[in-house]
Amino acid sequence: MPTFAPNSWEARAERSVMFGFTDLPSLHERGPLIITHGTGVHVHDVHGRRFLDANSGLWNMILGFDNRELAEAAKAQYDRFPGYHAFFGRISDQAVALSEKLIEVSPYDEGKVFFTNSGSEANDTMVKMLWFINTVMGEPRRRKIITRLYGYHGVTAVSASMTGKPYNKWFGLPLADFRLTSCPHWWRFGLPGETEAAFTARMARQLEELIELEGPETVAGFVAEPVMGAGGVIVPSQGYFQAIQPVLRKYGIPLISDEVICGFGRTGTMWGATTYGFVPDAIIASKAITAGYFPMGAIILGGALAEKLQAASEKIEEFVHGFTASGHPVGCAIALKAIEINERDRLIDRVNALAPRFHARMARLAEHENIGEARGIGLMGALEMVADKATKAPFPAAAAVSEKVANRCIDNGLICRPLGQAIVLCPPFVTTEAEIDWLFDTLETSVGEVFSEIG
């Protein structure tokens, strides 16, 4: 364990900060990384070290860490009108303009937008909307929410209940009414000899069996990420959404696309749903909505669901829900600017231009005997490490291989994220070709160093 001087940033952080989602053995061994500022796709720490952040912060900083236009938009809005709410029929002009813009860039001709401060709150709000519609409209038993094993939807009590990660048992979650169906990761969960098409058909069958088991009249909604992000960049098996959407339609169950990671271009189109050829009943957006320059989440309801929520609200005279800072005018001004830059600078074209280079380098890494799968789409990818490539056997958890690789990357000036036994990469959209090359050169070196030490 390193010893830091008592007044060092590291010692101060360890004394005063309760770290979340942080591997504590690694933290104690290495100390925290304390960042002061960013330039382009790099962040700088208190010791003057520079790191290329291959995770765009937490998927969100798609325009890098020093975009002047976003900072200017924030300053201008702080000067003009620094804060307001969206209760009692009062709302800022910026929140109205952003609602219109989000509908314009959505797959919907018409719809309605509701703002939150995070992706978790957006998912939580979405579930409350479904519960509210069903309760007010006389179907109070229709409450169950189906999500997928390894899906990630957030950390509030409801959104954690939607999250299919084993650690939620430590909170005594999920709450009642939350159910999981299978994870469509063919490489990991395909049966011996099962084709991808047969696997996809099995996923749809298992979903239908679950709906039948629970009672279709008790199911309020199905929520899915187009590509599972925090589950380890799990790309759905071929035809997955085309196979499950008819099942959901058969039972009148809304399909909600959690686009907190996929939204705004990460997968190579504006929405992951578009990339995978389906139209959801509602979209959950956050993260890149403000390019990470302000906390914000949004629910974009398609026309039909918006009408239902409006009708239920009219019935009892209001939709009794909202957060003090929902639709904050500064956040909305930043989001409007971020979307303007995304469109003006054709950043989704840029994602598609960088993607072949990104995936070619991923594939090259997958030639390593301990990389079992290189997966991803657009500018998101994961490298799954395995002890045995033929059997896909993982390393013992205690070997902490992904932490070791990620820590070595940090030593070499690269930030990337360990997730289970995978390394996740999702660089900002403004990354240059040369920076992509440097990222992978550094990752290759780090992987080589760690595995030669493991032996």
Ligand X SMILES: Cc1ncc(COP(=O)(O)O)c(C=O)c1O
> Residues in the site for ligand X, rule: CB under 6 A?
118-120, 123, 152-154, 225, 229-230, 258, 260-261, 286
Q: What are residue 255's phi and psi, to 5 degrees? A: -105, 120
Closest distance of CB 153 from ligand X, Å: 5
d(CA 52, CA 59): 14
Closest distance of CB 139 from ligand X, Å: 26
The residues near 426 (Cβ < 8 Å, ≥ 6 apart) are 54, 55, 56, 59, 229, 233, 261, 266, 379, 380, 381
**370, 386 in Cβ contact below 8 A?**
yes
Query: Which of 327, 335, 308 lies closest to 137 in space, CA to CA?
Result: 308
Closest distance of CB 104 from ligand X, Å: 23
Closest distance of CB 20 from ligand X, Å: 10
Specify the DSSP element, H or E, that contains 402: helix 401-411
The residues near 22 (Cβ < 8 Å, ≥ 6 apart) are none
Based on CB atoms, which residue is closest to ligand X, 208 or 259?
Answer: 259
Closest distance of CB 199 from ligand X, Å: 23
Which residue in the shown chain puts its C-beta closest to ligand X? 119
Q: Which residues lie across from 423 on neighbouring strands? A: 383, 418
Closest distance of CB 330 from ligand X, Å: 17
Closest distance of CB 258 from ligand X, Å: 5
Give per-residue burial for 79-90: e unless 16+ CB within 10 Å, then b.
eeeeebbbeeee
Give the pairing type, strands 255-258 and 219-224.
Answer: parallel
User: Chain centroid to CA 325: how far?
Assistant: 22
Closest distance of CB 230 from ligand X, Å: 5
Based on CB atoms, which residue is closest to ligand X, 225 or 373?
Answer: 225
d(CA 442, CA 103): 41
Based on CB atoms, which residue is closest to ligand X, 294 or 440?
Answer: 294
Based on CB atoms, which residue is closest to ligand X, 153 or 375?
Answer: 153
d(CA 233, CA 423): 10
Closest distance of CB 254 from ligand X, Å: 17
Closest distance of CB 146 from ligand X, Å: 16
Token pair 């196979």 is at which residue?
243
Based on CB atoms, which residue is closest to ligand X, 120 or 200?
Answer: 120
d(CA 189, CA 215): 26
97 φψ region: left (φ > 0), alpha (ψ -120 to 50), beta (else) = alpha
**Helix ranges restricted to H, 292-386:** 303-316, 329-344, 347-365
d(CA 119, CA 259): 9
Based on CB atoms, which residue is closest to ligand X, 106 or 446?
Answer: 106
d(CA 75, CA 160): 35
Based on CB atoms, which residue is closest to ligand X, 64 or 119?
Answer: 119
Based on CB atoms, which residue is closest to ligand X, 123 or 267?
Answer: 123
- Four-CA torsion 366, 367, 369, 374, nearest 10 degrees: 10
Based on CB atoms, which residue is closest to ligand X, 293 or 440?
Answer: 293
Based on CB atoms, which residue is closest to ligand X, 332 or 447?
Answer: 332
